Amino acid sequence: MNKFYIIAFLNVLLFLQGYAQEGRQIIPFNDGWTFRKGPLVADVHQADTAWTNVTIPHTWNNKDMQEGKNFYAGEACYQKTFHIAANLNGKRLFLRFDGVGSIAQLYVNNRFIGEHKGSYAAFCFEITHSVKYGEENTIVVKANNKAREDVLPINNFLFGIFGGIYRPVNLLITNDINITATDYASPGIYITQDHVSNEKAMVGVTTKIENKQAHYTNVQVQTVIRDRQGKRISITVKEVNLSPQGINIIHQELPVTSPHLWNGLKDPYLYSLTTSLISNGHIIDAVTQPLGLRRFEIVAGKGFFLNGQPYAMHGVTRHQEWQDCGNALTNAQHKADLDLIREIGATTIRFAHYQQSGYLYSLCDSIGFVVWAEIPFVNNFSGKESENARQQLTELIRQNFNHPSIYVWGMHNEVYSKTPDEHVAVLTRQLNDLAKTEDPRRYTVAVSGYGEMNRPANLATDIQGMNRYFGWYEGSIGDIEKWVSGLEKNYPDYKLMLTEYGADGNINQHTDSISTNFDPVNGQFFPETYQTATHVQQWAVIEKHPYIAASYLWNMFEFAVPMWNRGGVNARNLKGLITYDRKQKKDAFYWYKANWNPEPMIYIADRRNKTRQPQRVHAEVFSNLEKVTLTLNNSAPISGRKGANNKDFIFDDLQLKPGINILTASGTSNGKVYTDTITWNH
């Protein structure tokens, strides 16, 4: 493990769950669960033998969701018995669930504690008054992943709503004076930063404190900023008299002189900020959060700026699921996905179409990805989802407020109104107002699947996102040039992002010529060759237009769509650049790696199309090297012509011999030779 990843890993360990260990305990609550599919047996005299032992994270759809429409959507139950020590009487106890799909009801000792609606945000319930101290206790979680009109997303059409306690659970123990744990499961402290430059930064901290004692109580609220080595660089202390009623909201400000700025992948420098409650010289509670000092700005027509400097926003999108695991992923699997995204050379990630793991956002802080976070208001609407949309947006913002990597909050994706007065347009304005009230310093975005700037539901936010699938769902591959040029001319003052683009590609299907005769909805032939051509041609256009402030290819990884049967693979969206099992990288992956990652590389495309019918063929090589050449069957090296851009090399009129043909591409970087070799059979 290199130095970079050691630092990143240590930072994630520090900030995971957002809590320091002083004054509170966080106990993993993931072992010892039993599970049954279906509701509890109502008859107390009837034995219920359907329980099996499971460990959290867990989903009951890890297999059936990837096999087709006949997946289980409905109620299931989890149960756990646990002991609460007698000496904890007088403390406050909370259960924090990082994610349950998608409706969760919590019971402790047969007492109903509460319900949470939505699969993707964390939630936290207090159980202080429902447990028996010095005795065994029983917890039951009823989970239900059946699609509902009042809970986002309202259907399974674009991606599956997995059921289960699919993210970790923790038992949180605090004193009776504590930084709040139940403010939408947020860390309880909110960090702002203003006037950020190389010379200075002003850091603001708002802390929400609860006092469960009987009287006003004096405490000190101390906030400290430390650098990566643990050296204290700023401190402030405020004496406060805490009310025993309601929430005490305390605001503090700390200056930082000559700050070390968070600078994306180049230098994702993180300070730590710790707010502590001190009584009689003892820390009674403390919360630690990451602090990355940075300044984001988008300038219409010019692009994205980080700390006042242009910053290339080479983006991918990501769903939180793996083959045979569903969405019940380990931290190692989350990190593996980010490692692959780092390898391709992406600088920004759109986590679509919902809030993802807190661990993942923390790792992005440490690695330096610039992050887009959004709620699952996607694909369709019912008119009954307004309350839940506001809830999920509030959770998204409050739980992730302190992550320096996040630059924008997403309001919706591909939901529409015909006029500004209809449901989606009105709700989007309400959501945007909520986002700006909760967090006025970050951007907001709404995404359309149409190419028009003036869609009624998409003009309420700071940024207009557009999903454009030229050559797949509409038009031809090259139409992207006309589209973006028209917007540049007609809407020069608008902030635009290309938020999805691409085509499906089955790694087991190929063609010797680029044909557009595909049915993207009902077809069964989605050759990888065509996917590659789409990305090659469209990226060459995107990179020439800074008017596109950021672009996000769809998708980094294949994922399950249980309602689909397309492209020769049932229940699968094949637009990913990496297969569902993460074992194979498609040609388009290496195309972007050649363009985005400065590490020397060379790659011959169409390598899985091993049996070639024509005798005369062409070869395509992706490389960021100099003096790129190709040999065929040990021939003299030949030079290719420039393809879509200077990373694309085309070698025409290659004559294959009967049988096995060996192709070797070569290039140099700083005097070192790099090669790639494949075989084709004619």
Whether 587 maps to a domain, the answer reads no
165 and 95 assigned to the same domain: yes
Q: What was the pLDDT predicted at 43?
A: 63
43 and 71 assigned to the same domain: yes
Is pLDDT of 18 > 50?
no
Domain boundary among 179, 213, 248: 179
Give the list of residues 6+ apart from residue 393 with CB closer than 8 angstroms, or none. 375, 409, 411, 431, 434, 435, 438
144 and 228 assigned to the same domain: no
Whether 607 maps to a domain, the answer reads no
DSSP string, 659-675: SEEEEEEEEEETTEEEE
Q: What was the pLDDT predicted at 515?
A: 72
Rounded average pLDDT over 405-427: 97
Q: What was the pLDDT predicted at 516?
A: 65
Rounded average pLDDT over 76-97: 97
Rounded average pLDDT over 385-390: 98
Whether 284 maps to a domain, the answer reads yes
Tokens found for residue 41: 């047996």
User: Mean pLDDT of all residues in the chain?
Assistant: 95
Length of the chain as a residue count: 682
> 153: closest CA among 520, 563, 574?
563
Whether 412 maps to a domain, the answer reads no
Question: How do residues 106-119 score in pLDDT, each as one tens digit?
Answer: 999 999 999 999 99
12 and 132 assigned to the same domain: yes
The residue type at 550: A
115 and 221 assigned to the same domain: no
Whether 475 maps to a domain, the answer reads no
Whether 556 maps to a domain, the answer reads no
Name the band, by pLDDT with cuts 50, 70 and 90, for residue 23: confident
Burial class (CB in 10 A: 0-12, 13-18, 19+), 265: middle
Question: How do residues 656-679 score in pLDDT, each as one tens digit?
Answer: 999 999 999 999 999 999 999 999
284 and 171 assigned to the same domain: no
Domain boundary among 119, 152, 179: 179
- Beta-strand relationship, 271-279 and 282-291: antiparallel
8 and 134 assigned to the same domain: yes
127 and 215 assigned to the same domain: no
Domain boundary among 291, 316, 338: 291
122 and 204 assigned to the same domain: no
The residue type at 144: N
Question: How do residues 501-556 score in pLDDT, each as one tens digit?
Answer: 999 999 999 998 887 678 999 999 999 999 999 999 999 999 999 999 999 999 99
Q: What was the pLDDT predicted at 517?
A: 76
- Cis omega before residue 153 (within 30°)? yes
91 and 208 assigned to the same domain: no
On whether the CB atoms of residues 653 and 639 are closer than 8 A, the answer is: no
Burial class (CB in 10 A: 0-12, 13-18, 19+), 336: middle
199 and 123 assigned to the same domain: no
In SS3 terms, 162-200 reads as CCECCCCEEEEEECCEEECCCCCCCCCEEEEEECCCCCE
Q: What was the pLDDT predicted at 47?
A: 67
> 107: closest CA among 65, 68, 138, 86?
138
Alpha carbons 578 and 318: distance in angstroms, whole number? 11
Angle at 241 between CA 238 and CA 242, to 5 degrees: 110
Is pLDDT of 11 > 80?
no
Is pLDDT of 302 > 70?
yes
Is pLDDT of 9 > 50?
no
Tell me the three state secondary structure of residue 566.
strand
Is pLDDT of 12 > 90?
no
Name the band, by pLDDT with cuts 50, 70 and 90, for residue 440: very high
Q: What was the pLDDT predicted at 510?
A: 95
> 338: closest CA among 305, 306, 371?
371
Whether 465 maps to a domain, the answer reads no
Q: What was the pLDDT predicted at 377?
A: 98
Q: What was the pLDDT predicted at 663?
A: 98
pTM of the model: 0.95
* Domain membership of residue 231 as a residue range: 189-291
Name the band, by pLDDT with cuts 50, 70 and 90, for residue 7: very low
**Placement of tokens 């260990």 in the chain:** 21
Alpha helices in 52-204 (DSSP H): none
Active site residue ranges: 414
Question: How do residues 548-578 score in pLDDT, each as one tens digit?
Answer: 999 999 999 999 999 999 999 999 999 999 9
Whether 641 maps to a domain, the answer reads yes
Tokens found for residue 415: 């939901």
> Percent of the chain at pLDDT above 90?
92
Alpha carbons 129 and 269: distance in angstroms, whole number? 42
101 and 207 assigned to the same domain: no
CATH number at residue 651: 2.60.40.10
CATH number at residue 132: 2.60.120.260
Q: For residue 231, what is the enclosing H or E element?
A: none
Q: What was the pLDDT predicted at 671?
A: 94
Q: What was the pLDDT predicted at 518?
A: 81
What domain count does the chain have? 3
Alpha carbons 197 and 218: distance in angstroms, whole number? 37
